[in-house]
């Protein structure tokens, strides 16, 4: 029982110490090649959305023609 309390206390202290608000946070996306890769990924997602929208419009036109 004492061991369980000690382990719980240590885990709580470790989790609290991980929440330092004073440090400067640097986003990984702001650094080098990763930023370029993330931008490319975002562009690909936008293109994919456009393709999905066009496919949905085509389905609607086909359904309207068959009714």
Is the pTM higher than 0.75?
no
67 residues of the chain, pLDDT tens digit each: 778 888 888 877 777 766 655 556 656 555 677 888 899 999 999 999 999 999 999 999 999 988 7
Domain range for 47 is 38-67
**Within a domain: residue 6?**
no
Give pLDDT, residue 36. Answer: 87
**Within a domain: residue 32?**
no
Tell me how many domains the chain contains.
Answer: 1
**Within a domain: residue 17?**
no
Give pLDDT, residue 27. Answer: 60
Instruction: Report the candidate in 41, 21, 38, 42 with the shortest Cα–Cα distance to residue 30.
Output: 38
Cα–Cα distance, 53 to 61 (Å, whole number)? 12
**Within a domain: residue 48?**
yes
**Within a domain: residue 14?**
no
Give pLDDT, residue 42. Answer: 94
**Within a domain: residue 43?**
yes
């Amino acid at each position: 029982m004492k061991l369980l309390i000690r382990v719980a206390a240590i885990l709580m202290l470790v989790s609290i110490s991980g929440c330092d608000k004073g440090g400067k946070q640097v986003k990984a996306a702001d650094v080098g090649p990763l930023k370029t890769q993330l931008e490319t990924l975002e562009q690909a997602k936008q293109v994919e959305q456009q393709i999905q929208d066009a496919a949905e419009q085509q389905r609607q036109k086909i359904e309207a023609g068959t009714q």
